[in-house]
Structure 1
Amino acid sequence: MSSSKNGEGVHVLLIPYPAQGHILAILDFTHQLALRGITITVLITPKNLPILDPLLSTHPSIQTLLLPFPAGHALLPAGVEHVKDVGNWGNAPIISSLSRLRAPVVEWFGSHPNPPTAIIHDFFSGWAQDVAREIGVPGICFNSTSALLVCVLDCAWKRIKGLKGMEVVGFPEIPDSPRFERDHLPSIMKNYKESDPDWEAVRRVMVGNTGSWGFVVNTFGGLEGKYLEWLEKKKKEEEENGNPRPRVFSVGPLSLIGVPYGGGGDHRSLFSWLDGCPDESVLYVAFGSQKLMKKPQLEALSIGLENSGVRFVLVVKEPTVEQVEQGYGSIPVGFEDRVTGRGLVIRGWAPQVEILSHRAVGGFLSHCGWNSTLEAIAAGVLILGWPMEADQYVNVRLLVDELEVSVRVSEGADTVPDITELARIISESMNGHIAEKVRAKELRDKACDAVKVGGSSIKALDELVEQLSQLNSPSK
């Protein structure tokens, strides 16, 4: 993997977005920029500063721009600075609040002795495009998502007001003309409310992304080549001077080349148990850092796993007393005793990358968030998809309907699956010799090739750094 210091002398301001699914990928990306000698300042608010600890301990040279989270939003409880503290509904007020950092960031640029020559920002932090235009530096949009989702967002936000009331939304301008039920669109689109101040701020942010200097996407050509080509063609058409150099940089899977993270507890007994299981016999079941299941859902999932006869590791979040009163569930009483020796339950955080990489794990029952999807692809395990919200339906379309590397088991944030059908799909997927398993391993090989020395993602990282290093050259 390349780590030449060809970025020395370049200073970049990096602006993440405070949500777990967003921030992990952009920190892995920042790690790669630091390895290439780029000077980096990360904009962060005080309560989110600990998230940077692994990155800062690996790269002490990285600086932080610590700005207070803009307070006073009527919908956000005092002290909230991260989406995990309020749930998915909090994206609109958090995006709207963070947009108010524009003025202090501009002021910081004006007072800095060596100000950044570019801004790289999360796609939920598109207000940074306004800063970039005011300062006169390139604004580069980082996407912790699939390239297909970047295409959908790029098209949809330009006609967002016309999507209201449509039962099915089509995108004929995108390769293969994808179509989605309105309820399956990303939450950040389908929840848009015209004239609402928060949602108008979201719209400005998302439309602003479409005019960025370039896109960085956490994907790779072997996975999404046609969508990356469409984005690249679109960026070239927008260039007034017809710049022939690429402005779409596919740099994934970043989890394969990311910053080292410390563990979150002692999981020796888990891996000891996995060591005793046959190859590819275990199903890993997890639904991301934020998802809590309602009691009927968790009961159906538990019984489906039990009846499938498959070995499994189930990761669950324990609800608070208040959440139990709201209908969220815990593991059914007696379940763990009945599956002793065949199934393990982990409450809280689990070392997902390490679990997926274990030789005993052959499947992943997942909500199909993009980080989880890439981690499964990198491990070569079969994904059993249960999309619920956000980008997950878009990802499942790519995985199941287009690439045929995954199996759909259910869908919907509140769906209670049929227990018999769920058990059947799990059993047949894990025990059968299905074509999706073969394709999943072939896709793993392509992912690993992309991040090898000379691989497409490493070349894209180096190309981005080279272009950044030339921003201040006389020819530019």
Structure 2
Amino acid sequence: MGKELQVVMLPWSGFGHLMPFFQLSIALAKAKVHVSYISTPRNIQRLPKISPDLQPFIHLVPIPFPRLDPDFLPEGAEAGIEVPSEKSENLHIAYDLLQTPIKHFIADQMPDWIIADFAAHWAVEIAKEYGILLAYFIISSAAASVFFGPPEYLTSANRNYALPSPQSLTSPREWITFPSLVAFKEHEATNVLQWAFAANSIGISFTSRIAKIISTSQVLAIRTCNEIEGDYLEVYKKITGKPVIPTGVLPPDQPGKREKGEINSDGAMFDWLDKQKPRSIVFVGFGSECKLSKEQVHEIAHGLELSELPFIWGLRKPISANTDEVDDFLPSGFVDRSSEKGLVCFGWVPQMEILGHPSIGGSLFHSGWGSVIETLQFGHCLVVLPFMYGQPLEARLLVEKGLAVEVKRNEDGSLSRDEIAKALRLAMVEEEGEHLRSNARKAAAVFGDHKLHQDHYIGAFVDYLKNNVAN
């Protein structure tokens, strides 16, 4: 019997990356692959518990950042959620300082594969030095990767290609050979050039990191499936010239059924949900790293009020709120006026348990890929309001596939309460939105099919990893 496969996981220090890498680790462990998952101590403490049967296969490896000046990164900050946006570049610099201890760990363990995130561009040199195979795991949609294009389009190192202009990012790319809506709007394009293509203080941009890993990886693994993105996966194979393997969407395990009257810290919230009609409630949530302004929070609140739909809103403190007082978060009197119709929950909420409740029928959210997967496995209709990074591309993919309605913004990118209300009503109750509701229910059969994603997609990925080690 051959040696069991050993892999090392190198996720970026953001929740939207830590969790997909953890879910991939769980899926590989179920296929009897030995996984070493490396992150900082605090990030590792936040991961869900691993079931006893999988513990022999998953080794969580905490490697701390070196001692850093509190002016550089706030004390104890190890993930994007804890770092103010003006210091987010410093988190990349701190992450790059993990290179040496990670190299020592890899040299000691000598795994068969390194499975790296975009940020770990230095894994390329480590893999080369020790003759270890490298896989790039892409946690977002295939459509977003296709839009950004092959490595030579991601960096100005190749002088045949100039860096894109904002205008060039506002229409589908020339290598997409079918009708596509996947592109940025004008008000988004300038920001994209700044966060994606501009070099940071250590001289390497987001896209340069990606280009380096794509160019040297043996395989590109993407958290998607042919049923949803077969067309984009084919284009990505063609433009990169690499093996492109969908891992399936890695749907998280659905929460166990909660008994009515069960006592827990969220009891009041679930008691309220228990009293609502099936599929009548909109869940509103913008994730842990999407920092809304007070103006945006107010416009969303007014939009919810105008829609006259019942809602539950997991709301985090806006970046411009001066106090922890609710009146500083929300329009004056909003909580009282909406108390019959809606529930506002401040801080962290158990999103999966809420989405799994029978009274939820739709979700207003940022269209981050992880939340798309969580929401569609329950067959809820999607109202998308993207804010950052590649979220606009995911939003337009969902609209293109008939799975979502996107909230229209004003030309300058500001929010309109009327458009929020209009999109919510279309998705949740109006007759013209029935095709969206029907498509979302059909999508649940794909996104919620754990056997398809584990046996078919992860099975094929593991076969690839094993066969290439053997070769």
Using structure 2 for the length normalisation, give the TM-score: 0.85
For residue 130 of structure 1, what is the aligned residue in structure 2? 125
CA contact (8 A) 1:81 1:94 kept: yes
Write the distance in 1 (CA, Å) between the matches of 2:150 and 2:465: 27
Q: Which amino acid aligns with 1:221?
A: N
Task: Give how far 1:24 is off.
Answer: 1.1
SS of structure 2 residue aligned to 1:191: helix
Task: Give how far 1:299 is off.
Answer: 2.1
Task: Give how far 1:218 is off.
Answer: 1.5
CA contact (8 A) 2:378 2:448 kept: no
Write the distance in 2 (CA, Å) between the matches of 1:296 and 1:383: 23
Write the distance in 2 (CA, Å) between the matches of 1:142 and 1:96: 21
CA contact (8 A) 1:18 1:83 kept: yes
SS of structure 1 residue aligned to 2:47: helix
CA contact (8 A) 1:11 1:40 kept: yes
For residue 244 of structure 1, what is the aligned residue in structure 2? none
Q: Identify if the C-alpha distance between structure 1 residues 285 and 456 changes in structure 2 by more than 3 Å, giving closer, same or farther.
A: closer
For residue 219 of structure 1, what is the aligned residue in structure 2? 224
Q: Which amino acid aligns with 1:110?
A: A
For residue 242 of structure 1, what is the aligned residue in structure 2? none
For residue 190 of structure 1, what is the aligned residue in structure 2? 194
Greater length-normalized contact order (CA 8 Å, ≥ 6 residues apart): 1
Q: Which runs of 5+ in 2 are unaligned?
A: 157-161
CA contact (8 A) 1:17 1:124 kept: yes
User: Which whole-Å deviations, capped at 9, do the CAs of 1:56-94 have from their partners, x for residues lacking one?
Assistant: 767433223332314558743454321111145544332
User: Which whole-Å deviations, capped at 9, do the CAs of 1:247-275 have from their partners, x for residues lacking one?
Assistant: 32222321345899x99962222222222
Q: Identify if the C-alpha distance between structure 1 residues 187 and 33 changes in structure 2 by more than 3 Å, giving closer, same or farther.
A: farther
Q: Which runs of 5+ in 1 are unaligned?
A: 1-5, 239-246
CA contact (8 A) 1:14 1:43 kept: yes
User: Which whole-Å deviations, capped at 9, do the CAs of 1:109-128 have from their partners, x for residues lacking one?
Assistant: 3334xx21110122332332
Mapping 1:278-357, distance limit 5 Å: 278-319=277-318, 323-324=322-323, 329-357=328-356
CA contact (8 A) 2:151 2:210 kept: no
Q: Identify if the C-alpha distance between structure 1 residues 196 and 50 changes in structure 2 by more than 3 Å, giving closer, same or farther.
A: closer
Q: Identify if the C-alpha distance between structure 1 residues 185 and 90 changes in structure 2 by more than 3 Å, giving closer, same or farther.
A: farther
Percent identity of the aligned residues?
24
User: Which whole-Å deviations, capped at 9, do the CAs of 1:390-437 have from their partners, x for residues lacking one?
Assistant: 11110111011x112211114489955333343333234322122211
Q: Identify if the C-alpha distance between structure 1 residues 208 and 58 changes in structure 2 by more than 3 Å, giving closer, same or farther.
A: farther
For residue 51 of structure 1, what is the aligned residue in structure 2? 46
Write the distance in 2 (CA, Å) between the matches of 1:124 and 1:81: 14
For residue 457 of structure 2, what is the aligned residue in structure 1? 460
Tell me which of 78, 83, 88 is aligned to 1:81.
78
CA contact (8 A) 1:83 1:90 kept: no
User: Which whole-Å deviations, capped at 9, do the CAs of 1:198-228 have from their partners, x for residues lacking one?
Assistant: 3516444211221211122221211111111
For residue 176 of structure 2, what is the aligned residue in structure 1? 174
CA contact (8 A) 1:287 1:366 kept: yes
Write the distance in 2 (CA, Å) between the matches of 1:456 and 1:13: 21
Write the distance in 1 (CA, Å) between the matches of 2:357 and 2:190: 32
Q: Which amino acid aligns with 1:448?
A: G
Q: More deviation in 141-150 or 61-70?
A: 61-70
Q: More deviation in 144-153 or 14-23?
A: 144-153
User: Which whole-Å deviations, capped at 9, do the CAs of 1:5-38 have from their partners, x for residues lacking one?
Assistant: x997111111111101111111111111111111
Over the aligned positions, Cα root-mean-square deviation in angstroms equals 3.4
Write the distance in 1 (CA, Å) between the matches of 2:204 and 2:15: 24
Matched, 1:67 2:73: no
Q: Which amino acid aligns with 1:63?
A: H
Query: How many residue pairs end up in the alignment?
Result: 452
CA contact (8 A) 1:250 1:457 kept: no
CA contact (8 A) 2:282 2:364 kept: yes
Tell me which of 15, 21, 28 is aligned to 1:33.
28
Mapping 1:119-268, distance limit 5 Å: 119-155=114-150, 158-161=153-156, 162-163=162-163, 165-169=165-169, 170=171, 171-176=173-178, 178-181=182-185, 183-184=187-188, 189-192=193-196, 196-200=200-204, 202-211=206-215, 212-234=217-239, 237-238=241-242, 247-257=243-253, 266-268=265-267
Using structure 1 for the length normalisation, give the TM-score: 0.84
Q: Identify if the C-alpha distance between structure 1 residues 17 and 233 changes in structure 2 by more than 3 Å, giving closer, same or farther.
A: same
Q: Identify if the C-alpha distance between structure 1 residues 95 and 397 changes in structure 2 by more than 3 Å, giving closer, same or farther.
A: same
Tell me which of 85, 91, 95 is aligned to 2:92.
95
Task: Give how far 1:185 is off.
Answer: 5.1
For residue 417 of structure 1, what is the aligned residue in structure 2? 415
SS of structure 2 residue aligned to 1:55: coil
